[in-house]
Amino acid sequence: MNKKIDYRNELNPAQLEAVESIDGAYLVIAGAGSGKTRVLVHRVAYLVEKKVKPDEILLLTFTRRAAEEMLRRASLLLDERCSRVSGGTFHSFANATLRRYAKVLHLANNFSILDESDAADTINLIRARLGLDKTDKRFPRKRAILEVISKSINKSEKLADVLYDEYPQFLEFSDEIKKIREEYRKYKAAKSLLDYDDLLVYLKELLVNHADVRLALSRRYKYVMVDEYQDTNKLQAYIACLLASEHKNIMVVGDDAQSIYSFRGANFRNIMDFPRLFKNTRIIILEENYRSTQPILNLTNEVISRAKEKFEKNLYTRKQGGSHPLFIDAEDENAQSRYIADKILGLREEGIELKDIAVLFRSGWHSNDLEIELASRNIPFVKYGGQKFVEAAHIKDVISYLRIVYNSADQVSWMRALLLIPGIGSKSAEKIISSFSFGKDRLHPISGIKKEEVRKLLDILKEIDSASPAQAGRDPARIIAIILEYYQPLLKHKYDDFHKRINDLDSLLRIASRYKSLEQFLTDMALEPPERSLAEAGLRDKDDSTLTLSTIHSAKGLEWHTVFLIYVAEGHLPSYLSLEDEEGIEEERRLFYVASTRAKENLFLLKPHIDRSPRSFMDGGGSVFTQPSRFLDEGGIMDKFVQVEDAGDEFAAACAEFKEDTGKKSASDKEFLRMMQEYFHGQEED
DNA sequence: TGCTGTATCTTTTTT
DNA sequence: AGATACAGCA
């Protein structure tokens, strides 16, 4: 029973055009909150209605969250056919495709995926093997080396150019880094290991060098759609275009003003250049904003209008009323946290649910104090972004055993597993590893291993091998259960705080029990790891509504009724690390823009006046008075928000800062006064 | 060779 | 504050 969708009524003319355009190349420039997701969702439904098979539609999105949300909404709109659309992130799509076509590239299809720290460790190993660990001059650290190599791949630039442009301090090591890159490449190839970049590189090669595969994929995916195109890098853009090269049915959607991934090689010029690749590209611009109130838009428009380079857009809304964004210069970090917690409780009284509220920040640790405050007040929350659950050392330990089970040639995991055994360091571990001879998918330990502990490890692995058939479809939870028996003593030996970590292992087991196949489990842990959830306060299921804490990066594409943006201070947003060049600051500006455009009704900007954060020791140590973010301090912008003085004694000053929003004064006036009252009332308790 | 204690540096965002 | 590199000891 198909629902009849009334596209004409549900969409504005520009949106409708995008939805009803089927064949050909389209570039949709979609300002923040302009209904971009709505367009994609409707377009999926429209295509399906036009008898395009769902799996012939390829939807490449930036995060899995975005993909799921989109397919969920499309299914709601039409029917469950929409949930069978192909797609995911570039990396997950690459993974799936490469496993299918592994043979063509002479690649084992049980390759393992190295995450960033695995890759960095491998780099270090190779550096040592090359004898580059004993240099007299200071050599770049493993992360830095990896960063350089990765950037050169993602930006499709020569290593030397990347060094010259971004890491001039490493120029003198140019030859050594190249050597490491070469050895690293060989090492991975020999051991069936792929890092994140390899996924893209191999996919690109597959598409470029194998016309038959490219054709097959083109037939399979007749309509290609790419979301958040401004955040793709050269390699990804190339892949998208290659996929569409046969039929040229491609729609890319993005907003140059929201490009925030240049550190990963993203280049918003991809958007500008798209029409050059596809000759008859039709450009559709969505400018009407359906998300935020006018006062919020006034602020965000003002901030982005100062960007150096952009498509001219001016977002407007028909939404009436709304209150001014508030700027609160809280006394210190904890005052900032308390303000938010108070306000959240107040909003909840008014019927705003926790799930409609978010606190956003530039970097993961910005929310540390807030997390403690929220926990003490029993406000349940989930944190997105920042350090991931699977990056914790003990989780990586356990996963390394699983990776060995899956791909016994995975030497990176072998190394990790062996180093956990007391008495075995890197030398012995290397010796042991080279004494193995690696068969096709089973390991053959060679005699002469004396260490009883190593035996034990091998026995456990053998036990797993015999307990479950070597074929795919192994049950990851069962394997973990066996491994934990073995691992627990090692855990206690290695970490003083093991009792905290043991809980995490339970979580891992719980997560694993949702998977039927080891391969899928390992892939997801590498490519789409579960977010670190601190909401274990137990209040989770009570009303099933949780507050969102998120880095700005992870908040992309989402929206909330009320948004708090914290640490809106110089050195934090913009981050002091990006102050060196103009491009860096421009990206911070876009970050500010992305963050503040997430708000539908209320936007609170906060900063602690006294900065005792760990990084303040950089400039002088101890505590430092913060300056408001430069994005709030540019001429003419002050009247786009209301500044609330935290000093408590300055009611008059705060009032003086208040400038009326022309037009709809009654609503915002009342709102403002209420805020003020609440605010100063709150102050008395301090 | 491995372990432990100390000196040193760096510190963002994500697949 | 935390990670990493390094030096010295067992």
**Which residues of A spanning 627-666 put their CB closer than 7 angstroms to strand B?**
none
Chain A window 565-594: residues with CB closer than 7 Å to nucleic chain B are 575, 577-578
Q: How far is the CA of A200 from the C1' of B10 (A)?
A: 30
- The DSSP secondary structure of A359-419, one letter per residue, reads EEESSGGGGHHHHHHHHHTT--EEEESSS-GGGSHHHHHHHHHHHHHH-TT-HHHHHHHHH
Residue ranges of alpha helices (H) inside A78-134 are: 90-100, 116-129
Which nucleotide is the nearest neighbour of A133, by CA and C1'?
C5
Q: Are the C-beta atoms of residues A11 and A38 closer than 8 Å to each other?
A: yes
The β-bridge partners of A285 are: A29
Bridge partners for A114 per DSSP: A195
Residues A628 and A657: beta-carbon distance below 8 Å: no
DSSP 8-state class, residue A196: H
Of A685, A512, A548, A522, nearest to A110 by C-alpha is A522
Neighbouring C-beta atoms of residue A50, cutoff 10 Å: 9
Report which residue type is found at A383: K
Cβ atoms of A125 and A429 closer than 8 Å: no
Cα separation of A517 and A519, whole Å?
Answer: 5
Structure tokens at A365: 């640790």
Q: What is the DSSP letter of A232?
A: -
Query: Given this model, what pLDDT does residue A622 score?
Result: 53
pLDDT value at residue A437: 62
A393 nearest nt, CA–C1': C3
Minimum-distance nucleotide, CA of A587 to C1': B13
The answer to whether A617 CB sits below 7 Å from nucleic acid chain B is yes
- Per-residue pLDDT tens digits for A536-577: 444 444 556 899 999 999 998 889 999 999 999 998 999 988
pLDDT value for A316 = 86
Number of other residues whose CB lies within 10 A of the CB of residue A108: 17
A63 touches strand B (CB under 7 A): yes
Does any strand C atom come closer than 7 Å to the Cβ of A119?
A: no
DSSP A568: -
User: Are A267 and A291 spatial neighbours (Cβ–Cβ below 8 Å)?
Assistant: no
Residue-averaged pLDDT of chain A: 84
Identity of residue A108: A
**Which nucleotide lies closest to A119 by the C1' atom and the CA atom?**
B15
User: Taking the CA atoms of chain A, what radius of gyration do you get in angstroms?
Assistant: 27
Are A287 and A16 in contact by the 8 Å Cβ rule? The answer is no
C-alpha distances (whole Å) from A562 to each of A7, A295, A330, A353, A524 are 30, 14, 19, 10, 32
Confidence band for A92, pLDDT divided at 50, 70 and 90:
very high
pLDDT at A349: 92
From residue A680, alpha-carbon distances to A387, A658, A675 in Å are 36, 15, 9
- With a cut of 70, say whether residue A650 has pLDDT above it: no
pLDDT cut 70: percent of chain A above it: 87
CB A367 within 8 A of CB A359: yes
Decide: CB of A122 under 7 A of nucleic strand C. no
Distance between the alpha carbon (CA) of A16 and the C1' atom of B11, Å = 47
Q: Which residue reads 């890759």 in tokens? A: A119
pLDDT digits (tens, 9 = 90+) for A34-85: 999 999 999 999 999 999 999 999 999 887 778 888 888 888 888 888 888 9
So what's the pLDDT on residue A134? 76
Token pair 């004494």 in the structure block, residue: A435
pLDDT category at A388 given cuts 50, 70, 90 is confident
Nucleotide nearest to A92 (CA to C1'): B15
Lowest mean pLDDT among A214-223, A481-490, A497-506: A497-506
Q: Which nucleotides of C are covered by protein (CB under 7 A)?
A: 1, 4-6
Residue type, A464: I
Does A133 contact strand C, using a CB cutoff of 7 Å? yes
Query: Under a CB-based contact definition with an 8 Å cutoff, are residues A60 and A89 in contact?
Result: yes
A367 beta carbon to strand B: under 7 Å: no
- State residue A503's pLDDT score: 84
Rounded to whole angstroms, how far apart are CA atoms A677 and A686? Answer: 15
Under 8 Å between Cβ of A660 and A342: no
| Cα–Cα distance, A567 to A335 (Å, whole number) | 12
- A159/A150 Cα distance (integer angstroms): 9
The pLDDT value given to residue A168: 87
* CB proximity A551–strand B (7 Å threshold): yes
Place A2 in a pLDDT band, splitting at 50, 70 and 90.
low
- How far CA A627 is from CA of A107, A340, A577, in Å, comes to 54, 20, 16
Q: Where are the beta strands (DSSP E) in A416-551?
A: 437-438, 443-444, 547-551
Greater pLDDT, A679 or A564: A564
Question: What's the rounded Cα separation, in Å, for the pair A119 and A107?
Answer: 19
More confident residue, A683 or A333: A333
CA pair distance A110, A125, nearest whole angstrom: 23
**Amino acid A647: pLDDT:** 40
pLDDT at residue A645 in the model: 63
How many angstroms separate the CA atoms of A583 and A676, rounded?
A: 38
Q: Which residues pair with A603 in a beta bridge?
A: A563
Q: Dihedral, CA atoms, A97, A102, A106, A111, nearest 10 degrees?
A: 100
Residue nearest to nucleotide B11 (CA to C1'): A615
Please name the nucleotide lying closest to A127, CA to C1'.
Answer: C5
Nucleotide lying nearest to A552, CA to C1' measure: B13
Burial track A162-196 (b if 16+ CB lie within 10 A, e otherwise): bbeebbeebeebeebbeebbebbeebbeebbbbbb
- For the record, the structure tokens of A14 come out as 């520009």
Judged against a pLDDT cut of 70, whether residue A678 lies above it is answered with no
Reduced to 3 states (helix: H, G, I; strand: E, B; else coil), residue A606 is: strand
User: Residue A382: phi, psi to the nearest 5?
Assistant: -125, 135
- Residues 584-643, chain A, CB closer than 7 Å to nucleic strand C: 614, 617
Q: Is A131 exposed, middle or buried (0-12, 13-18, 19+ CB in 10 A)?
A: exposed
Residue range A129-178, pLDDT digits in tens: 888 877 767 788 999 999 999 999 998 889 999 998 888 888 888 999 99
Q: What percent of chain A has pLDDT over 90?
A: 50
**Backbone CA torsion sign across A169, A171, A175, A178:** positive
Least confident range from A169-178, A582-591, A651-660: namely A651-660
Task: Give the pLDDT band (50/70/90) at residue A310.
Answer: confident
- A407: Cβ contacts below 8 Å, ≥ 6 apart: A108, A110, A111, A112, A192, A441
Burial class, A102, CB count within 10 angstroms (exposed 0-12 / middle 13-18 / buried 19+): middle
In sequence order, what are the residues at sequence separation of 6 or more whose Cβ sits closer than 8 angstroms to the Cβ of residue A685? none
User: How open is the CA angle A390-A393-A395, to the nearest 5 degrees?
Assistant: 45
pLDDT tens-digit series, residues A285-308: 999 999 999 999 999 999 999 888
Interatomic CA distance for residues A192 and A102, integer angstroms: 11
Check whether residue A133 has its CB closer than 7 Å to nucleic acid strand B.
no
